[in-house]
Amino acid sequence: LFYGEEIGMAENLDVAGRFAVRTPMQWTDGVNGGFSTAAKRRLPRPLPDGLYGPERVNAAGQRHDHRSFWWFIRDLIYTYRQQPEIGWSTAQVLEQPNPAVLAHACREASGWMMIGLHNFGADGCLVPLELADAPAGSQLVDLLDGRDAFPLDDHGRIELQLGPYGYRWLRLLRPG
| Domains in the chain, number | 2
The pLDDT of residue 90 is above 90: no
Residue 50 vs residue 110, higher pLDDT: 50
The pLDDT of residue 92 is above 80: yes
The per-residue pLDDT for 151 is 97
DSSP 79-125: HHHH-HHHHHSEEEEPP-S-TTEEEEEEE-TTS-EEEEEEE-SSS-E
100 with 123, same domain: the answer is yes
The per-residue pLDDT for 80 is 87
List the domain range (segments joined by +) for residue 50.
Answer: 5-80
Q: Are 44 and 79 in contact (CB under 8 A)?
A: no
C-alpha to C-alpha distance for 113 and 170, rounded to whole angstroms: 8
Indicate the pTM of the whole model.
Answer: 0.77
CB-neighbour burial class of residue 148 (10 A; exposed 0-12, middle 13-18, buried 19+)? middle
pLDDT in tens, 23-68: 889 999 999 999 999 998 898 888 888 898 999 999 999 999 999 9
Q: Give the CATH number for residue 119.
A: 2.60.40.1180
Residue 168 φ then ψ, to 5°: -145, 140
CA 87 to chain centre: 15
pLDDT in tens, 115-172: 999 999 999 999 999 998 899 999 999 999 878 899 999 999 999 999 999 999 999 9
Q: Which of 52, 80, 108 is the last residue of a domain?
A: 80
